[in-house]
Amino acid sequence: MDDDTTTPSLDEIIAGMPQRMGALNDKMGIELVEVTRERIVATMPVEGNTQPYGLLHGGASVVLAETLGSMGSALHAHPDRAPVGVDINATHHRSATSGLVTGVATPVHLGRTSTSFEVVITDEAGRRVCTSRITCSLIPLDRVPTVG
């Protein structure tokens, strides 16, 4: 296999991420702000992602966290492995009712077969709304299920 033509470079992956966010992230309004090996940052509007009482839905926070942790894991796994989520947890510290929340994912563990990221989600005042940890298994690309 000729890596120069079939495997995108890390820079190409990072450049393509905003275009490959996926349908769920599009529906939730998640927008990437920064993508590096050291941290992944994105915002998400509270509006449209609330539970019946008008508070940011905890599941929305988990979607944001999983998106960021999975992206960081994918960057680490490149070019011969792909991440699959095996564990995620979230502690919800306070509510958010308007504006944007920002998620920042930083690596806790970057191994050959697994990764873990901490994701801190804050409101526009910089107050911590949620802390999440995601662990991904890094599997060989030939074991990644294909769609279609």
Sheet containing 81-92: order of strands: 31-35, 40-45, 100-110, 114-122, 128-140, 81-92
Measure the CA–CA gap between 135 and 117, rounded to whole angstroms: 7
Positions marked active-site: 66
Measure the CA–CA gap between 146 and 148, rounded to whole angstroms: 7
* CA count, 13 A, side-chain hemisphere, 145: 3
Whether the CB-CB separation of 94 and 129 falls below 8 Å is answered with yes
